[in-house]
Amino acid sequence: MKRWRNVLIMGAGSMLLGGCSLVSTASAPQSIARNQVPFGLLDKTIPGTNGGRVSFITQPVYIVDVTGHLAPSSRIVPSPPLLVTVLRQLILGPTEIERAAGYSSALPENLVVVSATIKNSVGYIDLASPLSTLPRKQQILAVGQLVGTASDAGALAGIEITVGGTVQHTLLPSGRRTQLVTVKDFQQLLNG
């Protein structure tokens, strides 16, 4: 009997506490006065910084169109665009809308950019795995995507691809291999 009484008391207590709330409820959303929004969440600067602002721009990345050519497509990235940030957007591949229109990417979905910087207008891209394991046509398109995207991000003199710090001699559409790849090498694959 005592056991049942304890169970009933616990049940009644949990029902009572279940009906309590520390936040008042309302049937519709309520506006909060700007001066009552905490932590500077409405500020134009980043909370916790000394006035740091973030602005975004659109930056082209190159994807493969239905004809097998390289076509630019815009992505939103923080300004100024860093090569590594733009390349990571490229690796994400085409958007759902682009895929529905027949666009694709020759880059492996699991490709990892270890680092990517631009020095003296040359993009230095260090990958976690080589592109040379891809079939020839896919490899050429993948390199074209990287060089086109890097060029629009500021690597105007071309790119050098490394894997684990080891320079890769990259396959060109002409069939030859080179250390420094330029957009000019891929001109025949550019759409337009």
Q: What are phi and psi of 98, to 5 degrees?
A: -65, -40
Domain spans of the chain? 56-189
Per residue in 169-189, pLDDT (tens digit) is 999 999 999 999 999 999 999
Judge whether residue 161 has pLDDT over 80.
yes
* pLDDT at 4 exceeding the cut of 90: no
What angle separates helix 83-91 from helix 136-152, to the nearest 10 degrees?
Answer: 140
pLDDT tens, residue by residue, 92-138 = 999 999 999 999 999 999 999 999 999 999 999 999 999 999 999 99
- Strands 122-127 and 158-163 turn out to be parallel
- Tell me the C-alpha distance between 172 and 186, whole Å: 7
pTM of structure: 0.74
| pLDDT value, residue 17 | 67
Q: Which residue intervals of the chain are DSSP H helices?
A: 2-18, 83-91, 96-100, 136-152
